[in-house]
Amino acid sequence: MTDQSFLEIDNLTKRFPAPPGGEPLTVFENVSFDIAKGEFVCIIGHSGCGKSTILNVLAGLDSATSGAVTMDGGEVAGPSLDRGVVFQNYSLLPWLSALKNVTFGVRARHPQWSKAQVQEHAYKYLEMVGLSGGAEHRKPSQLSGGMRQRVSIARAFAIHPKLLLLDEPFGALDALTRGTIQDELIRIWSGSDQTVFMITHDVDEAILLADRILLMTNGPNAQVAENVIVDIPRPRSRTEIIHHEGYYKIRNHLVEFLAHRSRELAGQKADDGGRRTEPRTVRPALGGESEEEHPAAETKIVALKR
C-alpha cells in the first residue's frame, strides 16, 4: 500500500462452486488495484465480467473467495455508513416515502441532529436531484423508475460517505436528467474529499467523469487489464470535452478494448505466482500506448479536480 492509497484491493478472486453436474465458475481472479483518496474511478467491462461483484465486495455486502479489501487501513468486512451505494435497481425501502428513505440514513449518520436539521438536510439533497413539489412524500411504488433512482442517489449523497459506490446509477434516467445529475455528482465530489468508484457501460460518461478508467476483460477468469488515465483537465463540460485533443484518443482506446481486446485477453489465468499484479497504465491522450508504472500518487489526477 502506498502512502496515498485510501482503498486497496488485493488479489481479489471470486469463485462459485459447481452446480450439480456443472463446473465451478471463477468470475474474476487476482484483481489488484489501489484508489487514492479523492479519486474518481470508473470501471468498464462487458456484462458478466464481475463489476457488480467487485463493487459489492468493496461495499462489504458480498465477500470474495480470496483476497482482501482495505479502506483507510482497515479491512472491509461488512457494510458501513462510510460507504454509500447506489444500485441500478434503486433498492429503496418500499414502505417509506422518498423523504423518509433519505432521512433514514441521515438520522443514522447524525444521531445528534434535531428532526428539523435531518429534514432540512434531506430536502437539500432531494431538491438537488430534482425531486420536490410533493413528489418527496410519495412512496417508491408511486414514483417513476427515474424518480426512484434519483431518491436512491439523494440517499447515498446525503450521508456524505467517504466512498461512493455507484453501480450504473444513471442507466435508467432520461438524457436530460442524466446530464443534470452527472453535473451535480461532479459538483459534490469536487467540493469534498470523497472517493468515487463507479460502474458504467457508457464510455462517454466515463471520460466526462473519471480521473481514470479500469478496463476488465471478459469473464470467466476476468482480469482488470488496464488502468486508463483520463488526461483531460477539469472542470470538464459535456459540450466542450469532445473538442479536447485527447478525447477521441481515449474514446477510441476504450472502444477498441471493448470491441476486441476484452475478448482476446479473456480467460487468461493470472500467471503471477500469487504476487500482487496491478493493471498496466495507459495514457492515450498523451500519445497512444504510453505505458508506465502505476504509483497511486502519480495517477491521482485530483490536482485537476478543482
Ligand X SMILES: Nc1ncnc2c1ncn2[C@@H]1O[C@H](COP(=O)(O)OP(=O)(O)OP(=O)(O)O)[C@@H](O)[C@H]1O
Q: Which one of 16, 61, 146, 202 is in contact with ligand X (CB under 6 A)?
A: 16
CB 291 within 8 A of CB 281: yes
User: Is 64 in a helix, a strand, or coil?
Assistant: coil
Asked whether position 52 contacts ligand X by CB under 6 A, the answer is yes
Ranges of H-type helices in 23-91: 51-59
CB of 173 to ligand X, least distance (A): 17
Cross-strand pairs, 33: 9
Grid cell in block for residue 255: 472502444
Asked whether position 48 contacts ligand X by CB under 6 A, the answer is yes
| Region from 5-13, 48-56, 70-78, 190-198 binding ligand X, contact rule CB under 6 A | 48-56
Asked whether position 50 contacts ligand X by CB under 6 A, the answer is yes
Name residue, grid cell 500469487. Answer: 274
- 64 vs 186, which CB is nearer to ligand X? 64
Asked whether position 213 contacts ligand X by CB under 6 A, the answer is no
Asked whether position 25 contacts ligand X by CB under 6 A, the answer is yes
| Region from 51-59, 103-111, 155-163, 180-188 binding ligand X, contact rule CB under 6 A | 51-59
Angle, helices 115-128/145-158, rounded to nearest 10 degrees: 130
Q: 235: cis peptide before it, omega within 30°?
A: yes
Distance CA 301, CA 188 (A): 17
CB of 114 to ligand X, least distance (A): 40
CB of 61 to ligand X, least distance (A): 12
Grid cell in block for residue 192: 469534498
Asked whether position 202 contacts ligand X by CB under 6 A, the answer is no
Number of residues that bind ligand X (CB under 6 A): 12
Site for ligand X in 159-198 (CB under 6 A): none
Distance CA 176, CA 134 (A): 21
User: Is 153 in a helix, a strand, or coil?
Assistant: helix
Residues near ligand X (CB under 6 A): 16, 25, 27, 45, 47-53, 219
